[in-house]
Amino acid sequence: MATSRCYFALGNDRYVQVNEWKGEMRVDIGEWQGDKATKKGASLTLIRWKDFVDQLTYTDKALQDKQSYWSHLGGNAYFNITENSVCVDIRQYWKPENEVVPTKKGICLRPKEYICLKEVVLQIGRTLPELDAVPSDWRVNTIIITNVVYSANLDCAIDLRRLCYRISNARYDPRTFPGLIWQHKTIGGYCLVFSNGVINCNGKATSIKEGRQRLRRYARRIQCLGYSVCLKDIKCLTVSASHTLSTALDLNQLVKERQIVYEPELFSAVNFKNDGVNFCCFHSGKVVITGMKDLTQLDDVIYPVLIELELYTRKK
């Protein structure tokens, strides 16, 4: 059962309330039909709610100028304003291919309902002290991607020795490594090419999408050399990132409360795993994140852990 902290009516049988569900605080915006809540509505985590509140100024300006506005709140949650519209639509989307398609799960706030929602933002904030641990503009310069690894199959056999002679900045020595190591100066990163057509690309990127584009560019270069390349089985193997907390981290308190094995004589950082994602935490406040494979893990795993780690910070 969900436990409600506060409830506010927005008019037209619509409401906003703060619920605790399975130990997680959420802000729910929904609609009544008689004495029952309908499926129409949006349930936002604290991170997504804070992100929505931080953008209210831009939302107001878009409504005033009758311009379109689109924002990704994280995961499959978006809110947008269409051009010449007076409503704010908060909705779940899905991505069948390379496009974002709206679903029926969501709610479109009319002008009076949106104004009522803005008026109770401060009151909602008072009932949610957990919001203090969520920094403003959470997604701006908070997590820096350090490495993206992609893999694919070219669906053709590759003569690695011949390929090595035809390209520059490449090394191939089957006595030490079975694949060809290629570092293109323009594309960046490293590319490993194997004789069976498997290709791996890694290197620093600003986004997971950039890592995928890098792999496609390497494959295109190989195709231009006369190979019948057909990219198949493209998948992200792992993503590494780093984050710096607001202040230094109290490792002793973290280890005591989370019951983590910590041996400072062997390694100066605390390591733990959460839902397949590895976190390496240093006393300075730096957190190294490895093992991420999907953007949905940002909201489901990584952001909640980083918010929790902020509770263990202390002044230097």
**In the prediction, which pLDDT does 97 show?**
55
240 is a domain residue = no
Which residue among 131, 158, 175 closes a domain? 131
**In the prediction, which pLDDT does 182 show?**
93
Which residue, among 122, 130, 147, 100, has the nearest Cα to 289 in the 3D structure? 147
**In the prediction, which pLDDT does 279 show?**
94
178 is a domain residue = yes
Question: Structural domain of residue 57, as residue ranges?
Answer: 3-131
Same-domain status, 155 and 263? no
142 is a domain residue = no
Same-domain status, 230 and 249? no
3-class SS letters over the chain: CCEEEEEEEEECCEEEEEEEECCEEEEEEEEEECCEEEEEEEEEEHHHHHHHHHCHHHHHHHHHHCCCEEEEEECCEEEEECCCCCCEEEEEEECCCCCCEEEEEEEEECHHHHHHHHHCHHHHHHHCHHHHHCCCCCCCCCEEEEEEEEEEECCCCCCHHHHHHHCCCEECCCCCCCCEEECCCCCCCEEEECCCCEEEEECCCCCHHHHHHHHHHHHHHHHHCCCCCCCEEEEEEEEEEEEECCCEECHHHHHHHHCCCCCCCCCCCEEEEECCEEEEECCCCEEEEEEECCCHHHHHHHHHHHHHHHCCEECC
Mean pLDDT, consecutive 10-residue stretches, the chain (316 aa), reads 83 91 85 87 88 87 86 80 89 70 89 93 87 59 82 92 91 93 91 94 86 92 91 91 86 84 89 91 92 80 81 65
266 is a domain residue = yes
Same-domain status, 110 and 180? no
The model's pTM is: 0.57
**In the prediction, which pLDDT does 312 show?**
82
Burial class (CB in 10 A: 0-12, 13-18, 19+), 206: exposed
**In the prediction, which pLDDT does 296 show?**
75
**In the prediction, which pLDDT does 237 show?**
92
Same-domain status, 40 and 107? yes
Which residue among 204, 235, 266 closes a domain? 235
> Could you tell me the CATH number of the domain that includes residue 158?
3.30.310.10
Same-domain status, 87 and 196? no
**In the prediction, which pLDDT does 55 show?**
85
**In the prediction, which pLDDT does 23 show?**
74
140 is a domain residue = no
Same-domain status, 107 and 153? no
Same-domain status, 7 and 118? yes
227 is a domain residue = yes
14 is a domain residue = yes
138 is a domain residue = no
| Gap between the terminal Cα atoms of the chain | 41
Q: What is the pLDDT of residues 187-227, one digit of tens each?
A: 989 999 999 999 999 998 878 888 899 999 999 999 999 99
**In the prediction, which pLDDT does 315 show?**
47
Count: domains in the chain = 3
